Amino acid sequence: MVHPIGESELIITAHGTIYHLDIAPEHLAPTVIFVGDPGRVKEVSKYFDRVTHTAHHREFITHTGYIGNKPITVVSTGIGPDNIDIVFNELDALANIDFKTRTIKDNKTALSVFRLGTCGALQADIPIDSLIISSHAIGLDNLMHYYKMHNTPDESYILHEFRHHTRLDMSHIIPYISESSISLRKYFGPPYHHGITVTCPGFYGPQGRTLRLPPAFPYLLDAMATFKCHNHRIVNFEMETSAIYGLGKLLGHKCISINSVVANRASKTFSKNHKLAVDHMIKGALEIIAGI
C-alpha cells in the first residue's frame, strides 16, 4: 500500500502551490535555469519570446515562458547550499509527486537544470569575465551529508586526492563531490573553460578572505589552486554548484553550472563591468539551451 506524503513534509498551499516557491506543477517547465540573485530572473526572462507565469515569495522569484516552442522556467535560489536544498526538492516535488494524492509518480520527469551564476577564478590563466563550466563540484558545506550519496570510482578518487592535497583529511571539514551531466556538458565547448568547482558555505572565511577575523585554514586557497588529479584541476569557487550536482544526481536530473568570472583570486582583480559580462553569459547560454 502506498502511503501519502504527510502535510508537514510536503507543504501545499490552499491554492495548490508548493510552499516556498509558490508555484503549481503546471507552472514548471522541464528546462530550468537557476540564478542566485532574484534581480537576475528578469534579466533572463527578458530574452524569452513570451512569459506565461510569474511568482514571487521571499527571495524566490519564478518566471516561466518560451523561447520559440521551448518552455523554460527561471527561478532565483538566493545564496548558499541551504537554499538549493529548498528549491531543488520543491522543483522535484512539482515534477514527480502527484499533488492530489500526495504520492510519488510512477513515471518520473528528469529536469534539465542550468545554473547561471558568478564565481571567483583560482587560476591566473582564466581572466576576468571568462565563462566556466563546472565538470565536477566539490562541496565544503555539509548539505549532502544529510542524504545517502554514492560516488563513482572516478569521483571517489578525485575526492580522496583533494582531501589529501588540501590536508582537509586531518580537519573537521568533510568534503563531498558530484559530477555534472556529461550529456549537457558536451554542448559547451570553447570559449567555456572546464574544470572542478569548489562550493563554499560562505563568502569570507570559507573562501579565504581575511577582513578582521583570522582564517582557520590560511593555506587552503593555495592548496586548491595547485590541486591536480589526472587532467582535472580546480578552476573556481562559488556557493551553490555542489548542492545542485549532488541533489540532481540523487533525484535523477541533469545539471550543469555555468559561471561568469567576476573576480580572479590569483591576480586579486575584480570585473570592471560584471553586469555586462553576466548579460553576455545569459545570452550565450540561452542560445545553447534553446537548441537542446
What per-residue confidence (pLDDT) applies to 165? 97
Q: Using an 8 Å Cβ cutoff, are 17 and 23 in contact?
A: yes
Return the number of other C-beta atoms located less than 10 Å from residue 101's C-beta. 11
What per-residue confidence (pLDDT) applies to 211? 96
**251 domain residue, yes or no:** yes
**230 domain residue, yes or no:** yes
Instruction: Look up the domain containing 284 and give its range.
Output: 25-291
Return the number of other C-beta atoms located less than 10 Å from residue 267's C-beta. 13
**18 domain residue, yes or no:** no
pLDDT below 50 — which residues of the chain?
none
What per-residue confidence (pLDDT) applies to 233? 98
What per-residue confidence (pLDDT) applies to 94? 98
**20 domain residue, yes or no:** no
Residue 186: Cβ-neighbour burial (10 angstroms; 0-12, 13-18, 19+) = exposed
pLDDT tens digit sequence for 112-145: 999 999 999 999 999 999 999 999 999 999 999 9
**252 domain residue, yes or no:** yes
What per-residue confidence (pLDDT) applies to 2? 82
Q: Is the pTM of this model over 0.85?
A: yes
Number of domains comprising the chain: 1
Dist CA 265 CA 286 (whole Å)? 28
Dist CA 193 CA 235 (whole Å)? 8
What per-residue confidence (pLDDT) applies to 1? 74
**9 domain residue, yes or no:** no
Q: What is the CATH number of the domain that holds 44?
A: 3.40.50.1580
Of all residues in the chain, the percent with pLDDT exceeding 70 is: 100
**198 domain residue, yes or no:** yes
Dist CA 194 CA 3 (whole Å)? 44
**7 domain residue, yes or no:** no
